[in-house]
Every structure is written in structure tokens, then in C-alpha cells.
Structure 1
Amino acid sequence: MIDLDIRPGDALVIVDPQNDFCPGGALAVDGGDEIMAAIGNLAARFPLVVVTQDWHPRGHKSFASNHQGGVAFGTAEMPYGAQVLWPDHCVQGTAGADFHPGLAAALDRADLILRKGTNPAVDSYSAFYENDRSTATGLAGYLRDKKVSRCVFVGLAYDFCVAYSALDAVREGFASVIAKDLTRAIAMPAGDGGGTTVDAAERQFAEAGVAIL
């Protein structure tokens, strides 16, 4: 049981709990399936639940397969900056894009399911913004309309979509908490000599005031 004082104004944001991010999936995160049942239990305690869903068209420019000579987990320069190139994953309408079956309880509680990454030219890690850092998903406005003051993040992956979402929550004026035990990380080399992508994310959390539970 996560030790969290849940109160009115809290929202649980479940990030990308999809088959392709779980063992056996196209972009599997170690242990991604292990957190699903506990996330469902946690969702039952929240006044508002949001679930995000990666939902890429087949020709998405974040896929290594759509770049000549592209290598999965390499990078490519996009108009909005450097972009990690991923294996094809969470393609619209495929089983890999479906939610993990262990999350059924949380889906029953979901107030909003937000699809992201639908623009073939721009990736979208964050639940709040596409990777161009200017195109909003509309989530911030939705949460304000619902009188949300604090977002609690769980899901996949800790050092990418969860991290970007938690940091953007602060940017949008919400208190931001990550329940770390209910996330799993990719933990790639950071590429800046600073350890892994987990290390880089946690440095940003400390600077921004994202709380880690």
C-alpha cells in the first residue's frame, strides 16, 4: 500500500500502462507488468483518475524504422531538437497499444483517457505537451476545470514519459508527486556524461520540486 495522504484536489495520472511497454512488448520496460495490479488498487482511492495512452501512427518519425540508417535507441535531429529513435511501438489499433489487462480496475475508475503521440512528426512523452514543448495536449486545462491542485504520477517509463509529465505538471502550476515504486525505468545512458536517464531525470526533479514518494 502506498503511504499517501489522498485529499480533494488530487489526481492520479497513470502514464502509458500499455502492452508494448511490458515484458514481451515492442519497447518492454523490465518489470513493467509488475506494477499494474497495485496501480489499480491505488486508483480506487483517488477522486480523479487520468490514464494516458501512446497512440502512434505507423509512419511516426520517432520510430527508427522511418529513418534511413536509423538505429533503435540512437538519436535523430528533429525541427524541435534531438529525438531518441525507438522501435515501432504502440501503433494505433494494435495489441501493443492496448492497455495491460492487469490495469482493468483502474480503467473502470478513469475519468479521462488521453491519447498522445498522434502527430506523425512530433513525439509526445509528456501528458501535457508534445516534444516541441509548445503544443499542449489540453490536460492542464482539464485538470484546472476539475479543481485539481496536485498530480500523483505512476506508470511507464519513470525516466521518460513519467518524468516529462511530472516536470510539466510543475510548469503548469500543479504540485507534482511520483510514486516511484509504481513506476519502472528504461535507464539508458544519458549521453551527457551524467550517468543514466534515471540520474538525469532525478536531477531535474530536485531542481523543479517534484516530490518522490
Structure 2
Amino acid sequence: MQYRNGQRLPPDAVGVPARLSVNPRARRLSIRIDGRAGEAVLIAPSERKLGEVVAFARTKASWMRERLAERPQGAPLEPGATVSLFGRPTRLASTGGAGAARLTEDEEGPLIVSGGEGEAFARRVENLFKRVARDTLQARTDVHLRTLGLRPVKMSIADPRSRWGSCSPHNRTIRYSWRVIMAPPPVIDYLAAHEVAHLVHADHSPAYWSVVERLIGDHRPHRKWLRDNGPALHAVGR
């Protein structure tokens, strides 16, 4: 069978959902678990080695299933649940009726109250998160653009399954996952700096990371936070 870079394999091919990835810098065949996407990533140094990494993955089926089983399970957006907003535990409560979700605070801390029931309640809460994400990320994006002396960009909010953001320098657009608004503010700011820096360097070269460092200082703790906590944020509402 001819395999290609980026190809997705059905579970019966290697025992779990998997994606093929070619990394010319890789020195050996390897497997990485992408908890956010719910799949294994099979990495080979070249496309002609993809068949070998598929065969290797078949011997690691049990290990891959165990690692994927450890990923956080979906956490529904429902009254009584607690979610994170700006890194702070925030409770969800129903107001009855059909009112939009709004953020407030009481003696116990942050509180999101919303009308609706079931999916309607969850949709209203998610819409609130998206509004807050749009306002916050637009503000931080603008700050970093001004720091670098760059023109404004078109920004949008989405819900990708395995990415926090993307930047298209050629048409000056940046897209963010609304879910990052659940992270602490320094992590949110890191993501904005990360995407704005791609307007200067489209790769992840040392020159690129120097731009990120100019914007926010040491970026490594924030990258680690997203690696460690990202799967849990992607599980919220799913």
C-alpha cells in the first residue's frame, strides 16, 4: 500500500485512529499521542519510511490504546458544572427562561448564569466564551501588532480540534481557538504573540522564536502549560 504524509488511517489499520507524519529531522520511527485529536501520530523521517512506521505501530497497539484512554473525557456545559475562565474556576448556573449567558460573580467567585436547557444552555455558555475570547484576543493581538509596527489583521474565532491558532501571512488573517480563553492570561497572551510573530516569520526558526521572546519574554512555560492542559480544555463541552 502507498502511504502519504498527512494520511489518516482507520482504527483497524493499527489498532487506533492514526495520522501519518513525515519529519525530515526525525532520526528514527516514532509514535506521538495527540490527545486533543484523539489519535496517534506515526512519525517517519521520509515518505518512503511510512510503511515501516505503520508496521511498527501495529506492534504498539496496546500501548497506544492505553495512552488514548488516559486522555480527559468530555465535560458537558451544564448547570452545576465548573469550568475554567482565565484560569479561574467558574461555576455554571441556570436562570430559567431563554436569556443569554452572562458572567457575574458572587461570594463564592466567578459565575456564569444562563437561560436555556440542555443543548440550548450549553450553546449559550459557549457563545459567551466565544465573545470573551474574541474581545480578549483582539486586544492582545492589537498590542503585539503595534509593538512590531505591523498593520491590523483580520481575526476570527473557531473551534479546531487540535490547534490553538493559525496565521496566514499572505492574506493577513489570524484564527484562534476560543478554548484558550479558559487558560491563564499569560498563556492567552502567548498564543496571540505566537500567531502575530508568524506575520514576520512563517516558520518556527530561531529568528521566529526571537520575535516571540521580544513580545512576551520566556515563552517556554506557556507552551508547556498548553501541552500539559490542552487536552482537558479541548474536552470541555464535548
Would you call these one fold, judging by a TM-score over 0.5? no
Largest Rg, 1 or 2:
2
Answer 1 or 2: which has greater helix percent.
2
Task: With the length of structure 1 as denominator, give the TM-score of the two structures.
Answer: 0.25
